[in-house]
Structure 1
Amino acid sequence: MTRIVLVTGGAGFLGSHLCERLINNGDEVLCVDNFFTGTRENISHLLDDRRFELLRHDVTFPLYVEVDRIYNLACPASPIHYQRDPVQTTKTSVIGAINMLGLAKRLKCPILQASTSEVYGDPEVHPQPESYWGRVNPLGVRACYDEGKRCAETLFFDYRRQHQLQIKVARIFNTYGPRMSMNDGRVVSNFIVQALRGDPITIFGDGAQTRSFCYVADLIDGLVGLMNTPPTFTGPVNLGRPDEFSMLELAKTVIDLTGSRSQVVYQPLPQDDPRVRKPDAGLAKAAIGWEPKTQLREGLKVTIAYFETQLRREKR
């Protein structure tokens, strides 16, 4: 039987890939987005598909539709975007979660929350297991996103306890791939665009801080796999590649793959920027059977090719 699946934030980087995967799996998709960071270009190839419907809507307002499943991905996810309007960012995470949970409650359908590794803040435990409560500055410039996502997780588990809602919570670690925005301020897109333009590659801090990098197709495998787990399994579950690279290692890899002559320059570290970030991915493997397959260099080659195309269009 064909399912109707709601994807909020469906025109964003991750959302567009999820919509595409669900349609390829035989589902019908209702893509909801207010285009704060998402773009029509990301889902333009789906617009003519009879199984795809696009609705422009802000999740901070109630939504009345009939669907069988909900993936709640709506929220700007890069510091540049979520700090542009921090109050709205918090509203999207919290009020948006309340509205989507209310919809799921009415429909008695499963709902998945796209949470984030940022709930761990600047961690004192490494790698970060799901049992770790985190170390987040509630007053800092990143708090609108970090605390908004933490509150959304609270709401999801309270709706489960109070209303027996079927919930899934995914904590997404750094993800990269085609359809990232060139101007989102994330390290992978920054480094690639700077290298392709021949600009200096900007590293904040000394370059020793680390991140794990998961290719988008692998991440989507994890989201779909999590949604398909039995109702008794809720998560939260880390979705990220369980290895790590320093910012300097990433910069050197991008320079190598692009053949760029860009030089590395250093700037002060932003407030509350985590020093380390790496998932403990044991639960994802045990509960979902999920392991990311794409090696960093392999995924970067595809991502670089995407940005080369984007930059050529920019020059026209």
Structure 2
Amino acid sequence: MSNNQIRNLVTGGAGFLGSHLVDKLMSKGQEVVCIDNFFTGRKRNLEKWFGNPNFELIRHDITEPILVEVDRIWHLACPASPIQYQSNPIKTAKTSFLGTYNMLGLARRVKARMLLASTSEIYGDPEIHPQSEDYRGNVSTIGTRSCYDEGKRIAETLCYDYERMHNTEIRVARIFNTYGPRMLNNDGRVVSNFIVQALKKEPLTIYGDGSQTRSFCYVSDLIDGLYKLMNSNFSKPMNLGNPEEITIKKLSYKIKEKINPNLELKLKDLPEDDPRRRKPDISLAKEIINWSPVIDFDQGLENTINYFKKFEN
């Protein structure tokens, strides 16, 4: 099958990751059907493709079934930041379970290969460091983050049950913290939080003492990883993220330095079940799909800050 014959369905295609994936697929001359209910997606992320014969946008909520003829399903639809997924936790759980169930049903009917955008959150507050794909996680079933963490875990379970029962072709990417242009300014993620606060000359809010770590992958690197995984023959879960670990406090200093060095820091209590450390082991991605991040963190931050400046209001 040549590239320009591939017909892709991207759920959550108007969102942060989804819209960057749409850009990549469209730039390769492929056909893209984008589905989004616009809970966190934005039409402006896709406007450059409006009117293009290879692009179609459908407003639809994937908790309801849909039938479209496609070769590939990139299942990214689900609110991914704590503020968003905790605002309606039952809806979040339904999106992960019913949405994935509906997409797998579609994949089975039209014999499409499906990639699930899973998450590092399935590891919970990890007791081993860094996290490799064989780690089973330390996750609360009853906490405020459970709707997302457990939702993604059952989504993975469904995928592999479909693979076993129906021979559905499955790819599962466990995505670690990603940042870059098109993040929402109110989504509560730490990179966008700090940038928005700094641009407004407000103190930067740090939860806990700032010693907790995250590993941030620039969005173009992450999309390259997704693309390589989908086009590989590897069907087990794969971590995609940047193994370069940084404390939240150090991140705040980096952003202050780039926007306004005089800003103060404001400490708040750590939220429930907030992971202390997060760092992917990407040995598998390096070995199987020859992938590792290439964008320098400072350059990625510059690009992200410039994006937020452009849309500041």
Using the size of structure 1 for normalisation, the TM-score is 0.97
Secondary structure of the structure 2 residue equivalent to 1:286? helix
User: Would you say the 8 A contact 1:194–1:201 is kept in 2?
Assistant: yes
| 1:165 lines up with 2:168 in the alignment | yes
Cα displacement (A) at 1:137: 0.5
Residue in structure 2 matched with residue 304 of structure 1 by the alignment: 305
| 1:177 lines up with 2:188 in the alignment | no
1:23 to 22, 26, 33: 26
Q: Trace 1:73-152 onto structure 2 (pairs within 5 A).
A: 73-152=76-155
Residue in structure 2 matched with residue 65 of structure 1 by the alignment: 68
The list of structure 1 runs, each at least 4 consecutive aligned residues, that deviate by more than 2 angstroms after superposition, is none
Structure 1 residues 24-55: Cα deviation after superposition (integer angstroms, max 9, x where no partner): 01111000000011011111112122211100
Residue in structure 2 matched with residue 5 of structure 1 by the alignment: 8
Cα distance between partner residues in 2 of 1:25 and 1:134: 37
Cα distance between partner residues in 1 of 2:149 and 2:261: 35
Q: Trace 1:176-255 onto structure 2 (pairs within 5 A).
A: 176-230=179-233, 233-255=234-256
Cα displacement (A) at 1:109: 1.3
Cα displacement (A) at 1:208: 0.2
Worse-superposed segment, 10-19 or 37-46: 37-46
**Corresponding residue pairs, total:** 310
Cα displacement (A) at 1:277: 0.2
Structure 1 residues 233-291: Cα deviation after superposition (integer angstroms, max 9, x where no partner): 11200000011100001000001111342111100000000000000000011111001
Cα distance between partner residues in 2 of 1:286 and 1:25: 25
Structure 1 residues 71-101: Cα deviation after superposition (integer angstroms, max 9, x where no partner): 0000000000000110000000000000000
Residue in structure 1 matched with residue 46 of structure 2 by the alignment: 43
Cα distance between partner residues in 2 of 1:277 and 1:207: 13
Cα distance between partner residues in 1 of 2:66 and 2:261: 47
Cα displacement (A) at 1:148: 0.2
Cα displacement (A) at 1:196: 1.2
Residue in structure 2 matched with residue 284 of structure 1 by the alignment: 285
Cα distance between partner residues in 2 of 1:234 and 1:37: 29
Identical counterparts, % of pairs: 57
User: Would you say the 8 A contact 1:121–1:274 is kept in 2?
Assistant: yes
Letter in 2 for 1:307: F
Cα displacement (A) at 1:56: 0.3
Cα displacement (A) at 1:197: 1.1
Cα distance between partner residues in 2 of 1:216 and 1:48: 25
Cα distance between partner residues in 1 of 2:60 and 2:236: 28
Cα distance between partner residues in 2 of 1:192 and 1:109: 40
For structure 1, which runs of at least 5 residues remain unmatched after alignment? none
Letter in 1 for 2:178: T
User: Would you say the 8 A contact 1:242–1:281 is kept in 2?
Assistant: yes
User: Would you say the 8 A contact 2:201–2:260 is kept in 1?
Assistant: no
Secondary structure of the structure 2 residue equivalent to 1:99? helix
Letter in 2 for 1:236: P
| 1:275 lines up with 2:254 in the alignment | no
Secondary structure of the structure 1 residue equivalent to 2:271? coil
Residue in structure 2 matched with residue 153 of structure 1 by the alignment: 156
Secondary structure of the structure 2 residue equivalent to 1:83? helix
Cα distance between partner residues in 1 of 2:24 and 2:290: 18
Cα distance between partner residues in 2 of 1:110 and 1:136: 29
For structure 2, which runs of at least 5 residues remain unmatched after alignment? none
